[in-house]
Amino acid sequence: MRGIAAQEDGGERLDAIAAARILGTAAWRLGRYEEGRQHLERGLALARQAGHDGWRAVLLDGLGLCLAARGAYAAAERAQREALLLNERLGTSYQMVQNLVNLAAHAGRRG
């Protein structure tokens, strides 16, 4: 995370957000769920500070997938629902479909 902090100081916030997403996704896919969650939440905080709803939606989607992978289904569903609301407002239909598919998977796990 040291490199991300350096980028933030250099005014390259969007690069730092993208890096957090990549690192977070890679970590949780490798089974390092806590590390992945931390990267994704850091990116989400940066996206909120930047007022970038598109990145917020992408990071919330990734956070939802990470949380579901570690069995935190209720938290995963909350993240996915927030991402869906943002994507609806932004009109990003492909992302909305992804959110709905992920929400359906969470509902299937609940039974």
SS3 readout for 33-87:
HHHHHHHHHHHHHHHHHHCCHHHHHHHHHHHHHHHHHCCCHHHHHHHHHHHHHHH
110, 73 contact by CB (below 8 A):
yes
Work out the angle between the directed axes of helices 13-29 and 2-9 (0-180°, nearest 10). 160
pLDDT of residue 111: 64
Average pLDDT, the chain: 89
Inform me whether the pLDDT recorded for 6 exceeds 50. Answer: no
Inform me whether the pLDDT recorded for 7 exceeds 50. Answer: no
8, 46 contact by CB (below 8 A):
yes
Please state the pTM of the whole predicted model: 0.86
Q: Which residue has the higher pLDDT, 9 or 37?
A: 37
The model's pLDDT over 44-93, given as tens digits with 9 standing for 90+, comes to 999 999 999 999 999 999 999 999 999 999 999 999 999 999 999 999 99
**What is the C-alpha radius of gyration for the chain, rounded to an integer number of angstroms?**
14
- pLDDT bracket for residue 2 (50, 70, 90): very low
21, 62 contact by CB (below 8 A):
yes
DSSP 91: T
53, 20 contact by CB (below 8 A):
no
pLDDT of residue 41: 98
Q: State the Cα angle at 91 between 56 and 48, rounded to 5°.
A: 15
